[in-house]
Amino acid sequence: MIFAVVPAAGRSERMGTNKLLLPMAGRTVIECLVRALAEGGVQHVIVVTPVHATDVALAAEAAGAEVCLLPEPTSEMRETVELGVRWLEDRYRPRFDDAWLLAPADHPAIDAKAVRELCCRYPNDQGRTIIAPVFRGKRGHPVLLAWHHVSGIRAHPPHAGLDTYLRLHADEALEVPIDNDGILRDIDTPEDYARLKNARSGGRGAGNVDREA
């Protein structure tokens, strides 16, 4: 079984408004991502968001996600993700050979085809347990990990981020070429949002990766 954890606890300070509720292709940003994950083959999508973010929770549930509420606000992605995987463990008892996708909530341009490409590569005959999407040599999101990496992340130094964990386990990673740069595009600022909307209508632009949503 494949799960997805969507950290959605950022404060959207640079955007000036809650970016996860901005309109994108007839939906909100959070709905775009949840739908792509579900349509790409993820059985359970869990969105982790603060208790006060009721509009985000409602939009995520409307798109088919389950919601895990953070008792205290945090801007740390690792803390958000660890709560999400613990929530999944309590409810679904994932097996050692199950997998999960780390999918930051502010990546609405991730599409179902990219998600499906990653899910189809697990398990694989190379024994790789981290599956990372790549567009023109650049890694993006979501990243698929075998469930056993949950215990590895918990044992990782307390103040180290998830990116350092992934780098430490680079020899376990399989890079999968994706023909859509949506895996690289996040929206942190009004300029990011404008570029992505412009790209959706035929223009070009670039986003950033590896930040809290």
Mean per-residue pLDDT pooled into runs of 10, the chain (213 residues): 95 88 95 98 97 95 97 86 97 96 97 98 95 97 98 94 96 97 95 91 46 39
Q: Which are the contacts of 76, defined by CB distance < 8 A and separation ≥ 6? A: 212
pTM, entire model: 0.91
pLDDT for 53 equals 92
Task: Measure the CA–CA gap between 15 and 48, rounded to whole angstroms.
Answer: 20
Residue 94, preceding bond cis, omega within 30 degrees?
no
Predicted local confidence at residue 34, as pLDDT: 98
DSSP letter (8 states) at residue 106: T
DSSP class of residue 118 equals H
The three-state secondary structure class of 42 is coil
Cα-to-chain-centroid distance, residue 135 = 16
pLDDT in the model for residue 73: 76
Nearest CA-CA partner of 119 in 180, 38, 183, 60 = 38
Q: What CA–CA distance (Å, rounded) separates 56 from 62?
A: 10
| CB-facing half-sphere around the CA of 120: CA atoms within 13 A | 11
pLDDT attached to residue 210: 36
Chain centre distance of CA 67 = 14
